[in-house]
Copies of this chain bind each other. A is one copy, B any other.
């Protein structure tokens, strides 16, 4: 797999297809698994890690030859960051030490990290609200791997994991939502409080502790013990339509009561993205968020959602540097980002207004 080729494509999860895709960017499930015969990664020696990697890698190749394995420890820092930006590896795997890797499936729907916090972190992502589809896929993958790998499993506790918060099912079920109207109407905090009360976590685009850039929020479970996978998925599946409904109502209100302001904001955001000659990642995501909502509300008609989704990722630092083919400091990235945005957005049909 040539990582440079990926700069010209984007994962299926950015396609903007699937159910409720105006608000739901993607659905994602990950499973934490460990091999029974080795210490957890944080206790494993370099030798252990190499053996774990070898075993897992062999199992992955047997399960699905389409899964392409990358030795993350031999990748340069830029390529590692590039994989983080694409949501294919975690920041933790990026900065870890020793033998580790990731197996990536076609269209980037599947990724399996090796020697992250747990020996295996399976991840399946799909565009739109599609948790059942995602679950079927990851469950199949998990079963297939279990045929040749001996996962640490306790008859009462379930799957054992490095961190006690993952013990049990080892599952994290997450849905990434675009909630610009709730942010603008300042109702988002109310939604967060309601979600926290029922033990759900809210995170930004790049996982735990990251800021919710571009008004993207990932809602996921926190509990893995004493609750089946099906129950966990049901909890999330039950709550998401309510959040979607809140966002739709907030958008409707904005359209009804502040249409002119909204149209102005959306149109200016698009205008700045098309004309800036230097722009930070933060401002880019902020403006893209307005533009994304504008397209969904029919206020912009010469741009497609998949393009905007892709721009959120392709304007990240490592992506920009790989697209340009060279190392860039912050200032130069801001210039390159603006240039990239202008060239991508100039192709849109011109708006009649």
Q: Is A163 an interface residue (CB 8 A)?
A: no
A145-153, A268-276, A308-316 - interface stretch: A268-276
Q: Is A66 an interface residue (CB 8 A)?
A: no
Q: Is the CB of B272 within 8 A of A277?
A: no
Q: How far is the CA of A353 from the CA of B346 in the complex (A)?
A: 10
Q: Is A324 an interface residue (CB 8 A)?
A: no
Q: How close is A331's CB to chain B, nearest CB, in angstroms?
A: 8
Q: Which residues in B have their C-beta under 8 angstroms from that of A268?
A: 272, 275-277
Q: Is the CB of A267 within 8 A of B276?
A: yes
CB closest residue in chain B, given A277: B264
Tell me the chain A residues, 305-350 only, with Cβ under 8 Å from chain B: 331, 335, 338-339, 342-343, 346, 350
Q: Which residues in B have their C-beta under 8 angstroms from that of A264?
A: 276-279, 338
Q: Is the CB of B260 within 8 A of A267?
A: no
CB closest residue in chain B, given A261: B278
Q: How far is the CA of A271 from the CA of B342 in the complex (A)?
A: 11
Q: How far is the CA of A263 from the CA of B272 in the complex (A)?
A: 13
Question: Interface size (A, Cβ < 8 Å)?
Answer: 24
CB closest residue in chain B, given A278: B264
CB closest residue in chain B, given A263: B277
Q: Which of B271, B331, B335 contacts A271 (CB under 8 A)?
A: B271
CB closest residue in chain B, given A342: B353
Q: Which residues in B have their C-beta under 8 angstroms from that of A271?
A: 271-272, 274-276
Q: Which residues in B have their C-beta under 8 angstroms from that of A353?
A: 339, 342-343, 346
Tell me the chain A residues, 240-281 only, with Cβ under 8 Å from chain B: 260-261, 263-264, 267-268, 270-272, 274-279
CB closest residue in chain B, given A332: B260
Subset of 25 A-B contacts with CB under 8 Å: A260-B277, A260-B278, A260-B331, A260-B335, A261-B278, A264-B276, A264-B277, A264-B278, A264-B279, A264-B338, A267-B275, A267-B276, A267-B277, A268-B272, A268-B275, A268-B276, A268-B277, A271-B271, A271-B274, A271-B276, A272-B272, A339-B353, A342-B353, A346-B353, A350-B350
Q: Interface residues, chain A, CB within 8 Å of chain B?
A: 260-261, 263-264, 267-268, 270-272, 274-279, 331, 335, 338-339, 342-343, 346, 350, 353
